[in-house]
Amino acid sequence: QLRERLQHVATNDTLTGLYNRRVLDDVLAREFARADRNKSRLSFLMLDVDKFKKLNDARGHAFGDQVLKKVAGLLVSMARQSDIVCRYGGEEFLIVLPDCDLERAAAKAEKIRLAIKTQEFGDKNFESIFLSVSIGVACYPDSSDSKLDMIKLADEALYHAKSNGRDQVCVFDMVRNPADVIEALTYTPIGEH
């Protein structure tokens, strides 16, 4: 029992119960191998709770922790059994979607964004509020055929969504045109912002 508890602590985030970053190396090696073997797509959603630091400062860490738990629960409830949901750090979450192309991943990200936006967050000490999230999407091998770049590309798309006004999904899309690499890189925002 103790060994099982220690294993759980080593692989899962103590606050949310989600997988932590330590699990990713093993999980991603397996999922990339499966994607290559099946010639399928592997998508990544990097999600960040908008203005979380301001919320934490205004309402305290206990309220912030409740928000993160509720967001984590919502992400798990919307995930397929094959999806991997991780707390990536702070208010960032990473969702790995096996056998999911860029278009379906973007649609899934938009559903998540809307679900969180319509969710009330509150407790007995504070009036309920509504929050928003920004989500970056990337897909292997559509966004890049480099396995090492995938999380970074999803994170870049997330950064673009946040700097472009927050509360939106942004897709990292590498257009298949070798003429000009710089022009080939496009960010496609989805949803309102």
Instruction: Cite the active site residues.
Output: 91
Q: CB neighbours of 48 closer than 8 A, spacing ≥ 6?
A: 91, 92, 93, 133, 134, 135, 158, 162
Going by the DSSP 8-state scheme, the letter that residue 131 receives in this structure is -
For residue 63, which amino acid is it? F
